[in-house]
Amino acid sequence: MTQAEKLRGERRGTIEEDEMGQLFYGSTGQAIEVDDALLAHVQLVTFTKLRRGESFVMSWKRPGGAGRETVWVQPSIPLRFASDSDQEIRINGKLLEDLAYAAGSLQGMDLSADVAPVLTAMRGGAQRAA
């Protein structure tokens, strides 16, 4: 089960399987596609880190599985978050903690890794967001 599939259990209402948000880094206009639910969590962690003046590493797998990309996120670099869904996304406290911890580590925040194993149970609705 992918991270995106696990996160879909966190959403309120019905959200289509293919709703992917975009993260725009810098002024290039090139988008990084991220599941809407994951993007909402990444946005909160990113805003918190940048508000504190903290920089961090963010990485993800390239589309098609051919390699990885890594960027340095800092307050002077413009970021834009765009969501495909107009549904409210329930925020999971455990996932926020996991992403914040990863962002503070040497490896940084990995948007393509399973960052929160607890989401497996949440996919089935066994546990609710904090």
pLDDT tens-digit map of 15-38? 445 578 999 999 988 899 988 889
- C-alpha 108/C-alpha 81 separation (Å) is 19
Which residue type, as a one-letter code, is found at position 62? R
Instruction: Please give the model's pTM, rounded to 2 decimal places.
Output: 0.74
Per-residue pLDDT at 88: 84
pLDDT digits (tens, 9 = 90+) for 56-110: 999 998 877 788 899 999 999 999 999 988 888 889 998 899 999 999 999 999 9
Q: Are 79 and 116 in contact (CB under 8 A)?
A: no
Per-residue pLDDT at 18: 56
Q: Are 96 and 44 in contact (CB under 8 A)?
A: yes
Rounded to the nearest 10 degrees, the angle between the axes of helix 93-103 and helix 36-51 is 50
